Structure 1
Amino acid sequence: MRVMVTGASGLLGEEIADHFEAKGHEVIRLKGRKQLDLRDLEAVMHFVEDTHPDAIVHAAAIKNVDEAEKDPEGTYLTNTVATRNVAMAAGKCGAKMVYISTDAVFDGEKENVYHEFDPVGPINVYGASKLAGEQAVKELCERHFIVRTGLLFGLKGRRETNMVRGLFARWAKGEVIPAAVNQRCSNTYTRDLSRAIEIMANTEYYGTYHICNNGRASRYEFYLKLCTMAGYSPDQVQPAQASAIRYARRHKNTAMISLLYKDTFKDEMSDWEDAVSRFMEEYKKEN
């Protein structure tokens, strides 16, 4: 299968591209606007017509929630308009499309985990722009998979913007990092997510799926796990309220369950603690 991956220099996009290549697929890596500006409909249509991929995995997006709140127009151009363009091109050439969405499409008020049939209701610009992207994909590309996932961690992407690498660098300097105790989600290892996406893309079971590691944790619990496994003092993670740390409004709980994914593909995602342990093994191998 010839697979086009947008955002292929990012944390998830690079992991997806590497995994598809390892599985024997031909991969077209789109790494940035200099190569192809996804906001330019005509350019996207021509590129997809020329390369004629069998599948497009659209991972490119503005993901910084606070920056999205400060620049809503730019966020919608990247997260919604660009997604519409990719969906239109995929629909025209008959390609499958995998759109990487987010748990931020929910309002975060549910006490339990979210499943695929729960009503959506984003509370910030980032979530609203991604939900609008979902709607564009549904309207314009019949052969689509929408993948909602949680807080991502992994080894790929630019080192200077990799969240976990940044945490380790700060802890190594002796810094104490505040982490929200009232913000819970499903932390997800990019390697596990990429594996699941490849399984899914080889089928025609189209629809919206939650794909995340099992379980839920606060940002504080997640950071504490990383900190102690990396050999730093647990005192270097300070419990805090999300409102004291962040600019944009944050969800209380966006933890999800991969209900439909598990039932459809007969595949189970591991627990997030296990995923962190495997991530740390890989991290220590390279450091």
Structure 2
Amino acid sequence: MTNAPPLPMLITGIAGVPGYNAFHHFRARYGDQVIGLRQASMWPLAGDGIVACDVEDAKGIERLWEQYKFKSLLNCAGTCRLKSCELDPTMAHRVNVAGTGNIMTGAAAHGALTIHLSVDLVFSGEQQGEYTEADPLDPVTVYGAKMVEAETVVRTLRPESCILRISLPMGISFNGHAGAIDWIASRFKQEKPATLYYDEIRTPTYTDCMNRLYERLFFNPIVGTFHAGGSRTLSLFEIAQIVSVVGGYDPSLLQGCPRIEAGPMPPRAGNVTMNSSKIIETLGYQPFDPWPFPAHLVPTHRAWHLEQKEFSGSQEQVHALLYQNPNAPGTTPPSRSELWGSKRFRP
């Protein structure tokens, strides 16, 4: 196959938002040469090219590498459940650190071109954002601390890797309630309130933009650690305002507060916005359109969502404006409800 990245390709963590969207992006281009890995418990996520194996299963991961002999790896695996990681640091280490070690051991043994996803939560947010790759790491959560350890594992076992620190990946989730968009929307769909923070600030990115970046990096590899945050900064509350308006939900369901009022469990980061100028300069172009792309959907104040009565929100608008980048739309994968309907159990 000409004009293709090194194949076959392994994409791990396909039950999560970045992995799920990347799997469909690359599978549409390279077919059976792309394999997606999901945890064994996520049985509804099934289909061609999907393999079940927990990343902490060292023997199982070794067999997977031996079977397919992957030549490229996009590692999206891990658990980002903040509270679960706080309550069970051993589990967080097993999945996010030891699991990364198992994946990287295979990548090193087979010489696979490697992209590893880390996260903005390796920072505390106490310095008011605009973090660069040179800033010291000071996570406030167990999850963030384990992602720091995972980065060290990658640099040790596969030093030729590209480590991308991402923020919130904005795309559809398989289960309908993972990721920022779908978690917020799932609350509103059930007519339940959602409380988001005024002062946790992120740099969200369309998965469409991320997928094209991965593809570029597989064709033209770069080595090192790079920030890959979007070009627009938004608080979690502002993100929820956008979801409320674009989805056409009851605006009274959205509540906001400073993160200090949210209680101690789990701890919350502050302004963890990332400066991504290093990767922009390395590539020679800006890979990330702002999320959301339409500027008129950016809140201007805390009551903004209550005033957008002329906007006709719907699930179709969420697909067209929030899941997809309307400036350069990719393919939106199906959700679990689209695939399974009302079925909840194994047939």
The question of a shared fold, defined as TM-score above 0.5 by the shorter chain, is answered with: yes
**1:33 paired residue among 5, 30, 40:** 40
Find the structure with the greater CA-based Rg.
2
Offset at residue 243 of structure 1 (A) = 3.4
Counterpart mapping for 1:206-245 below 5 A: 206-245=223-262
Deviations 1:83-106 (CA, angstroms, capped at 9, x unpaired): 011111111111112111100111
Question: Distance in 2 between the 1:145 and 1:273 partners?
Answer: 26
Question: Distance in 1 between the 2:166 and 2:123 partners?
Answer: 12
Question: Distance in 1 between the 2:186 and 2:102 partners?
Answer: 38
Question: Distance in 1 between the 2:68 and 2:30 partners?
Answer: 18
Deviations 1:250-287 (CA, angstroms, capped at 9, x unpaired): 11111112212111122311112318978541669989
Q: What amino acid sits opposite 2:59 in the alignment?
A: E
Counterpart mapping for 1:63-212 below 5 A: 63-161=80-178, 163-212=180-229
Question: Distance in 1 between the 2:103 and 2:172 partners?
Answer: 27
Gaps of 5+ in 2: 1-6, 42-51, 298-316, 325-331, 339-347
CA gap 1:240/1:4 in 2 versus in 1, 3 angstroms: same
Deviations 1:48-106 (CA, angstroms, capped at 9, x unpaired): 12211111111111111111101100000000000011111111111112111100111
Q: Is the 8 A contact 1:196 1:211 kept in 2?
A: no
Q: Are positions 1:8 and 2:26 aligned together?
A: no
**2:24 paired residue among 2, 8, 18:** 18
| SS class of match (1:138) | helix
Offset at residue 131 of structure 1 (A) = 0.7
Q: Are positions 1:263 and 2:274 aligned together?
A: no
Q: Greater CA deviation, 164-173 or 59-68?
A: 164-173
TM-score, normalised to structure 2, is: 0.76
Q: Greater CA deviation, 17-26 or 137-146?
A: 17-26
Higher helix share: 1
Deviations 1:179-199 (CA, angstroms, capped at 9, x unpaired): 101111112222221221121
Q: Are positions 1:248 and 2:266 aligned together?
A: yes
* Percentage of identical aligned residues: 23
> Could you say what the CA RMSD is over the residues aligned between the two structures, in angstroms?
2.4
Q: Is the 8 A contact 1:151 1:188 kept in 2?
A: yes
Q: Greater CA deviation, 226-235 or 46-55?
A: 226-235
Question: Distance in 1 between the 2:81 and 2:181 partners?
Answer: 15
Q: Is the 8 A contact 1:95 1:143 kept in 2?
A: no
Question: Distance in 2 between the 1:7 and 1:122 partners?
Answer: 22
Gaps of 5+ in 1: none
CA gap 1:171/1:139 in 2 versus in 1, 3 angstroms: same
**1:57 paired residue among 74, 90, 93:** 74
Question: Distance in 2 between the 1:160 and 1:235 partners?
Answer: 20
Question: Distance in 1 between the 2:40 and 2:160 partners?
Answer: 26
TM-score, normalised to structure 1, is: 0.91
Q: Is the 8 A contact 1:189 1:279 kept in 2?
A: no
Question: Distance in 1 between the 2:173 and 2:14 partners?
Answer: 10
Partner residue of 1:273? Answer: 292
CA gap 1:3/1:244 in 2 versus in 1, 3 angstroms: same
